[in-house]
Amino acid sequence: MAEPVLEIDNLSVRFNLKRGVLRAVDGVSLSVGKGETFGLVGESGSGKTVTARSIMRLIKTPPGEIAGGTVRFEGRDIYQMSDAEIREIRGQHIAMIFQEPMTALNPVFTVGNQIGDALRTNMGLSKAEARERSIEMLQLVGIPSPAARIDNYVHEFSGGMRQRVMLAMAMSCDPTFLIADEPTTALDVTIQAVILELITSMIERFDMSLLFITHNLGVVAHACDNVGVMYASHLVEMGTKAEIFSNPQHPYTKGLLRSIPRMDAQEKFLTPINGTVCNMMDPPQGCKFHPRCEHTMDVCKERIPEFRELSPGHFAACHLHDQPTV
């Protein structure tokens, strides 16, 4: 494996709300190597976005709180950095793109203004240099006639084009690490295909690392090298793409893969995961998945299973793997 660029170790994030304490991320450990693409999958509310945001130190405190663990980027602890240091990391080293470009971009400034702003602040370029570089960036992400489009506002772009603008902005300061939080979820399938190809080609061309957050297993299957699966604030399984898709070890991962309707044949009934996601304000004891699991044992209701390595690089948190005989 390539040397790790990002190392998250035993990270826990809590939100202290009026209604009680919400453990949004609980003991998550993962690492992303140089030039590697890591897909973090999970359903709504599983904690994948909070994990991503905590890397950039974007968790609002209060009510949020890093309850434990460390996030290290290129060996340096993100949470030990001064404000000036973290500002340097954001944008210049780690960039982020979001699901909804319409809300992530500012509607009252032209796109050139917004990309240029980042360049002038982070790279110290002059107004004219920033404009020139912005046009280059728009060209790079495939926006036709960028010299004219640079003076357009966000609403003058289509959904796919907006996502390109956001990517141009993220790439403008030569980051080495990109966090993409559901970047194709709001897009139609044909546009999604184009944006995925664009992101993948950018990552390869500039030798970047990627943390890709999505609920769509199909996207992960094609855009990522390694995959982590989250359920109810916990990372329940992690491994190479091939291992996760062809040899899943956690019952949740298996259930998720079985729930997807097949494209090559029609089954009369699907095999869903029974029940619903637990209430995160009042999660069950033990393994968070046990109320929905078909293999529940007594130990599952009492203890949270350890996240253990089953084969090199393949981890899962399930009591089924407690004894070597199983």
Partner 1 sequence: MAEHLLEVKDLVKHFTLNGDFVSRIAGKTQTVKAVDGISFHIRQGETLGLVGESGCGKSTTGRLITRLIEPTAGEIKLHGEDLLAFPPKRMRDARRNIQLVFQDPYASLNPRKTIMEILSRPLEVHKLATTWHEKRERVLELLNLVGLGSEHIDRYPHEFSGGQRQRIAIARGLALTPELVIGDEPVSALDVSIQAQILNLFRELQEKFSLTYLFVAHDLSVIRHISDRVAVMYVGKIVETGPVETIFSDPLHPYTKALLAAVPEADPSKPPPRLTLEGEVATPIDPPPGCRLNGRCPLATTICGEVSPELVTVDTNHQVACHNL
Residue 268 contacts partner 1 per CB under 8 A:
yes
List binders of partner 1 among 122-181 (CB under 8 A). 158, 160-161
Q: Is 90 or 162 the residue whose CB approaches partner 1 more closely? A: 162
Residue 67 contacts partner 1 per CB under 8 A:
no
Q: Is 49 or 192 the residue whose CB approaches partner 1 more closely? A: 192
Residue 110 contacts partner 1 per CB under 8 A:
no
What does each C-alpha distance from 168 to 36, 136, 162, 176 come to in angstroms? 20, 9, 10, 14
Residue 221 contacts partner 1 per CB under 8 A:
yes
The three-point CA angle 57-167-25 to 5° equals 30
Contacts of 61-68 with CB under 8 Å at 24 or more apart are 62/16, 63/15, 63/16, 63/17, 64/13, 64/14, 64/15, 64/24, 65/13, 65/14, 65/15, 65/16, 66/11, 66/12, 66/13, 67/12, 67/13, 67/14, 67/23, 68/10, 68/11, 68/12, 68/27
Please, what is the minimum distance in Å from the beta carbon of residue 221 to partner 1? 5
Residue 277 contacts partner 1 per CB under 8 A:
yes
CB atoms within 10 A of CB 138: 26
Please, what is the minimum distance in Å from the beta carbon of residue 222 to partner 1? 4
- Per CB under 8 A, the segment of 74-82, 91-99, 209-217, 305-313 that binds partner 1 is 209-217
Please, what is the minimum distance in Å from the beta carbon of residue 309 to partner 1? 22
Q: How far apart are CA 293 and CA 289, in angstroms?
A: 6
- Per CB under 8 A, the segment of 80-88, 106-114, 218-226, 308-316 that binds partner 1 is 218-226
Residue 325 contacts partner 1 per CB under 8 A:
no
Q: Is 106 or 271 the residue whose CB approaches partner 1 more closely? A: 271
Contact call for residues 185 and 223 (beta carbons, < 8 A): no
Q: Which residues bind partner 1 (CB under 8 A)?
A: 43-44, 158, 160-161, 188-194, 196-197, 215-223, 241-242, 245, 255-264, 266-274, 276-277
